[in-house]
Every structure is written in C-alpha cells, then in structure tokens.
Amino acid sequence: MTTPPGYPADFVPLRTDRLTLRPLRAEDATALHRLVNDWEVAKTLARVPFPYKRSLADEWILSTWAQIAAGEAWHLAIVGEEPGPDGPAETLIGCVALTLDADRRQAELGYWVGRRYWGHGVATEAAGRLCRWALAQLEITGIHASALRDNARSAAVLRRLGFRPAGEAMQTFLSRGAPMPVNLFHGGREELTGDAGPAAGAAAAPLAGPPLMLVAAVALVDADGRVLLARRPEGKPLAGLWEFPGGKVKPGETPEAALIRELKEELDIDVSASCLAPFTFASHAYEKFHLMMPLYLCRKWGGTVRAVEGQALAWVRPKQFGGYAMPPADRPLVAMLQDFL
C-alpha cells in the first residue's frame, strides 16, 4: 500500500493482546461511516452529528493526520482481526483519541466502539493502552474524560481504567442538538498506570499499617558534574516520570547489592560496593505502601551507560532538575543534590 502524502507513517502502532491502535487510513472511511452512523453509537458522542454523512468520514480522517503531525491530538483506529476467506483479515472496530488541552499539560480521552463489538472489553483495552502510552511519552500530568449521565457502560469503562469522578457539567452533543448532562472523570499518573505496590521480591515489613517497601537509588555523576536520570517506561507505575536509577531490594539483599544488580540489568554498567557512597534517603507515604529509599552517590563505574530496557536517559545538571517531572519520593532529594553538587 502506498502511503499517501501527510499520513503519519512515523507513528508506531500501539498493540494489545487483541488489538492494534494505528492512525486512520483513507480506506477506513467506509467502515468508519458504517459503524458510527448508528444512533446507538452516535448519541453517546458529543462531536459527532447524526445522521453522519459519508463525506464527513473522508474529511475527518484527513484532519486527524494533521493533528498527529502537529502533536495536538491522536485519533487512532481500533483494529482487530476477523476470519476471512484468505485467513485473518484486519477489521475496524472503533476509534480512540487523546487531545491535548491548550496548556498541553492535560489531555482529554475519547472513544467509541461499533455496536456489534460491545460487551467484549474493547473500549477498556484500547483506552487503557492509549492512556499508558500518553503518560509515558507525552509531557502531560493527567487525563480527563466525560460520559453522559445515563451512559453507565462508558462510566464503568473509565472507572475500570482508574479514573475518578470529578463532578458534573452540561455538554453540547451534536448528535442530539442540545446540551446534555455529563459526569466528569479525571485520572493522574498514579491512578492510570497503577501504583507501585509491593510486588514479589519486595522487602516489606509485617506491620499493621501500610507495608514498607525498600528501594535503593543512585545518583550517577559524570566527569562534568551531570547526574543521570531515567524515564520510567510505559507499563511501569508512574510511567513518564524521571527518576534516579535503582530498584526494589529483594529479600536477602543489601541496598548496595540491589543497586549493583539493577545497574547491570538496566544500564549495563558494573559498579562495586566501594564506589557507592550513602548520601541521603527519602521516606514517602503512597496510598497503599510506605516507601523508604536510600540514595547513593557514584562517580566511578565500568562500561558505557546504555538503556538496556529501552528507557529514555538524560544527563542533567543539578540546577536543571526542575525541568524534569519526578515521582513524589524523588523530589525532596533534588534540593540536597543541588546543594552538594
């Protein structure tokens, strides 16, 4: 297939176990029109008129390419596979979208699924995938969404994803030609990517209150006085935030041993315990656990730092830390490092 001018071919499709989320193509217009020109679908969508003319599908698909290119919005096709005469065939199921607010710090989530695909968890799977991608890749701090007050199915999708109620409002629906009452929802990084609750291998104290998690971190300092920050990749709690390298201390490990292991696994460098100098620590209460995180300084290691797990890395001068969004537990460490370095 020849890529038409303007098509965002550099966008890497997002995948789940069953679905692919990709930019819409011109040839999707017929199927898109068939699915969305359905009153049961259109009546739940604020920006879709009804009846939905066939020509609107072509125009809208072209507009989505420009929005992706400008980094303003990502309207993606939800694609699955269905049996065909020549084997599995790609099938358009619906659409999912994320649109940046004017300040580009928040985004709005939207989605719809063709009626024949309702009840199969498609909306939850597709919207969750896009939210996790956005929080890991875009400089946003949260996502909001809305659902008609009588659309219990859509509200249930948002709650399953981790969105929390954020009030009520009136919103104009083109399909209904009038303002309608909607329930508002909002989710931040902790709600939508999952909190970093104790997992297998985490050291937790048997207390009556929230369990204690022990995590070791290190400030790697290069010859120019820059400190390495790593961005938490998609799929991890608090994805998209920048942190000091490190990880959970396993049962039977010392913090130094945990760091030596983690730095080899994540950055492919060799560090000896004698090169890890205890510096300070963070103590932070998350909703489901309490984090204790000793921070070490290290100026000497073997090998070349590289992102083994595909995570983004940045060598940052301490005075520039403010330009990098960090987890709550890491933020108090910044001032101490700035004073010391």
Backbone angles phi, psi at 225, to 5 degrees: 80, 15
Peptide linkage before 51 cis (omega within 30 of 0): yes
212-340: what fold?
A: Nucleoside Triphosphate Pyrophosphohydrolase (3.90.79)
Report the pLDDT value the prediction gives residue 190, as an integer from 0 to 100. Answer: 84
Q: How far is CA 295 from the centre of its chain?
A: 26
* Distance set, CA 34 to CA 52, 80, 299 (Å): 9, 16, 61
Report the pLDDT value the prediction gives residue 194, as an integer from 0 to 100. Answer: 60
Task: Report H helices in the chain.
Answer: 29-36, 39-42, 54-70, 122-137, 152-161, 189-193, 255-267, 331-340
| Correct CATH for 14-193 of 1.20.59.10, 3.40.630.30, 3.30.420.40, 3.60.40.10 | 3.40.630.30
pLDDT tens-digit series, residues 270-322: 999 999 999 999 998 887 789 999 999 999 999 999 999 889 999 999 999 98
- What is the average pLDDT across 245-259? 94
Backbone angles phi, psi at 45, to 5 degrees: -110, 125
Q: How far is CA 327 from the centre of its chain?
A: 14
Burial of 41 (0-12, 13-18, 19+ CB in 10 A): buried
d(CA 63, CA 70): 11
Whether 212-340 and 14-193 are alike in CATH topology: the answer is: no
Q: How far is CA 161 from the centre of its chain?
A: 12
- What is the average pLDDT across 110-116? 96
> Domains of the chain: which residue ranges?
14-193, 212-340
d(CA 330, CA 322): 12
pLDDT tens-digit series, residues 10-63: 999 999 999 999 999 999 999 999 999 999 999 999 999 999 999 999 999 999
